[in-house]
Amino acid sequence: MMKAFVMKKVGEVGFIDKPIPEPGPYDALIRTTKALICTSNIHEVHGRVKAMLDKKNVTLGHEAVGIVEKVGSHVKVFKPGDRVALGGKTPNWLDPISQTGHSSHAGGPMGGHEFELKRDGVFAEYFLVTQADGNLAHIPDSVADEAAVFAGDIVTTGIGGAENAHIPPGGIVAVFGAGPIGLMCVRGCRLLGAGLVIAVETIPKRKELAKYYGADVVIDFKEEDPVEKIISLSEGGLGIDSAIEAVGTQITFESCVKVTRPGGTISNIGYHGGREYVNIPVEAWGGGMAEKTITTIMSPGGRERLTRMLRLIENGRVDPTKLISHRFKFDDIEKGFRLVESKDPDVLKVLIDFE
Ligand code: ZN
């Protein structure tokens, strides 16, 4: 038997004992070493995720690293004892949508989010990874577990948001929101050759980290109007090349549309669930004719991509460990959970140690 931290039902979390799962032919059983609490875990427990409403005793968590304990007969790339990172999304790579290159949505929008929604997550002494050869990656020897644990969700989403923003080399980009993913996005913009990176944020610690990760300008939206300020920084006041939405609110989304120039890109990584529509400001959109592109992304995974994200960490291109604001042992995970739930402005990422 093993210990698992579960959502007993909507609104209630706690530990229960579960049998150690047995891997199927394509699965791997992983012994957890480190994990991170995600704000989406709070959304799930608070009843804001439809697919979780009727769930009972489901193990939470989807951001983790560990050691391979056991593999199924058809797993070729990994063997017991390997140190591995995994995607926050563990899709079915045989699904038609995966084959179009959008694996996080295998089976339908957000369908690649299998942990918690379709099977037990990672907040347990052991967990299963399906299609292990596709959903795991080896951690380079020089990369610590506490850094690698960011690769599969926070780093891949942040970098992906910057890739999706189609920033021309030397171009101007603004990132709205400097939470953990927004901060990785700021870093991604720098890595991809932006000429000027603007971050919009008000929490002091996050503003400081935005600078650390590469923002040239940080705009505090409580002190000045970010739309006006960003447009004033653009060539001829015509708007900037790219804007990234990393919050998931109407105001930040429409600000992104307003600050981009004709032909610019709005890259959305914020989660807009929980309301019926997201509105587009028609004038800034040129009545639908301004040739602005809206792109979206949700933690792209897969062994090839995870390996590249780990290489960024290995060679010092990005150091996600600065995002760790609190640490707890697995026995105390509920304390960490309550901290993330509290929306304390000093909380960024809470690391859980299983060793
Ligand atoms: Zn997450």
Q: Which pLDDT value is given to residue 8? A: 97
Cα–ligand 1 centroid distance for 341 (angstroms)? 14
Q: Could you tell me the distance, in angstroms and rounded to a whole number, from the CA of residue 232 to the centre of ligand 1?
A: 35
Which of the residues in the chain have pLDDT under 50?
A: none
**Per-residue pLDDT tens over the stretch 262-307:** 999 999 999 998 789 999 999 999 999 999 999 999 999 999 999 9
Q: What is the pLDDT of residue 303?
A: 98
Q: What is the structure's pLDDT at 343?
A: 87
Crossing angle for the helix pair 180-191 and 156-163, to the nearest 10 degrees: 50
C-alpha 62 – ligand 1 centre gap (Å): 6
DSSP string, 121-164: -SSBSEEEESSHHHHEEEPPTTS-HHHHTTIIIIIHHHHHHHHT
How close is the Cα of 238 to the center of ligand 1, in Å? 36
Residue range 2-149+319-353, CATH number: 3.90.180.10
Confidence (pLDDT) at 273 = 83
How far does residue 228's CA lie from ligand 1's centre (Å)?
A: 32
Q: How far is the CA of 64 from the centre of ligand 1 (A)?
A: 10
Residue 295 and residue 242: Cα distance in Å, rounded?
A: 11
* CA pair distance 245, 297, nearest whole angstrom: 11
State in Å: Cα 158 to ligand 1 middle: 11
Instruction: Say how far apart CA 237 and CA 66 lie, in whole Å.
Output: 50
Q: What is the pLDDT of residue 274?
A: 79
Cβ neighbors of 140 (< 8 A, separation 6 or more) are: 310, 311, 314
pLDDT at residue 275, as a whole number: 85
Architecture of domain 156-296: 3-Layer(aba) Sandwich (3.40)
Confidence (pLDDT) at 323: 98
Q: What is the pTM of this model?
A: 0.97
The two tokens of residue 73 are 């007969």
User: How far apart, in whole angstroms, are the C-alpha atoms of residue 87 and residue 135?
Assistant: 6
For residue 48, what pLDDT is reported? 85
CA 52 – ligand 1 centroid, Å:
15
Distance CA 40, CA 38 (A): 5
Residue spans of the domains in the chain: they are 2-149+319-353, 156-296
Taking the centre of ligand 1 as the mean of its atom positions, its distance from the CA of residue 263, in whole angstroms, is 31
